[in-house]
């Protein structure tokens, strides 16, 4: 069974100074050990890359591309998924829920994914299980 990789999890995985880095790293290693496919979207890759580059620097982006991206099954966001994400964004009308979050949630629903390598509470609020579990 697959799990979804969110920006919040990927960022914490790459940045050792993040509060929950060790927990996320253990969850990532556990997913790989169990040979679970880690799915994500191209929007998450763009968002993660932008955050890493802006906050940490280009070297960590290189590490991300070399060490983590090869383990991800990336869904390249097409027009239909983007449209569903935009519709959800307007329907939910919540300032803290981004377009990337909405596209991710729509992708997870359509792919029947239940688990998320991530820390973003929006996923748990939507009925998905966070890995590592939220404290």
Tokens of residue 36, six digits: 């679970």
pTM comes to 0.95
- Angle at which helices 58-67 and 7-14 pack, to 10 degrees? 110
CA distances from 12 to 3, 6, 106 (A): 17, 10, 23
Contact yes or no for 64/46 (Cβ under 8 A): no
What CATH number is given for 3-76+113-128 in this structure? Answer: 3.40.50.1010
Cα–Cα dist 20/71, whole Å: 21
pLDDT at position 5 over 80: yes
Domain boundaries, the chain: 3-76+113-128
Residue 134 is predicted with a pLDDT of 81
Residue 21's pLDDT band (cuts 50, 70, 90) = very high
């Amino acid at each position: 069974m697959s799990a979804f990789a969110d920006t919040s999890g990927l960022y914490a995985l790459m940045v050792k100074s993040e509060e929950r880095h060790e927990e996320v790293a253990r969850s990532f290693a556990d997913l790989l050990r169990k040979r679970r496919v880690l799915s994500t979207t191209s929007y998450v890759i763009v968002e993660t890359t932008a955050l890493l580059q802006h906050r940490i620097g280009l070297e960590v982006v290189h590490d991300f591309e070399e060490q983590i991206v090869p383990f991800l099954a990336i869904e390249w966001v097409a027009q239909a998924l983007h449209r569903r994400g935009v519709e959800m964004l307007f329907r939910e009308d919540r300032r803290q829920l981004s377009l990337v979050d909405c596209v991710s949630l729509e992708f997870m629903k359509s792919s029947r994914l239940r688990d998320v390598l991530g820390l973003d509470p929006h996923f748990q609020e939507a009925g998905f299980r966070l890995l590592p579990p939220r404290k």
